[in-house]
Amino acid sequence: MIIQIVHHDIANGMRDAAIARIGAVGELMSRQCGFVFRHVGDAMDNPSRITTVTAWEDAASLEQWNLTRLSMPPQPGNAGKVYVSVSTCSMETLTSS
């Protein structure tokens, strides 16, 4: 299983747009082959950060999502204005518990 953690640092006044965008992308993800789950939460130490944790069955599923995402039209909100920065970390799980 592949876990991808994404930190979305939100621009001032853009929280509602960020939530809408993250929700729309999550809905599209959930329809992809190999999607397992996605959790969305607020960072406890940073009120302007939303973090998503997404699981994919395997690296091929994540790669297919990335190809699909790159070919999609823009989602609600202009990413350049909604987020100050976005950072991603992906890892392969070593255990299943």
3-state secondary structure the chain: CEEEEEEEEECCCCHHHHHHHHHHHHHHHHCCCCEEEEEEEEECCEEEEEEEEEEECCHHHHHHHHHHHHHCCCCCCCHHHHEEEEEEEEEECCCCC
Using a cut of 0.75, tell me whether the model's pTM lies above it.
Answer: yes
- Domain of residue 51: give its range: 2-92
pLDDT, position 3:
97
**Residue 97: inside a domain, yes or no?**
no
**Residue 72: inside a domain, yes or no?**
yes
**Residue 84: inside a domain, yes or no?**
yes
Total count of domains within the chain: 1
Q: What CATH number is given to the structural domain containing 19?
A: 3.30.70.100
Per-residue pLDDT of the chain (97 residues; tens, 9 = 90+): 999 999 999 999 999 989 988 998 999 999 999 999 999 999 899 989 999 999 999 999 999 999 998 887 765 555 568 899 999 999 999 876 6
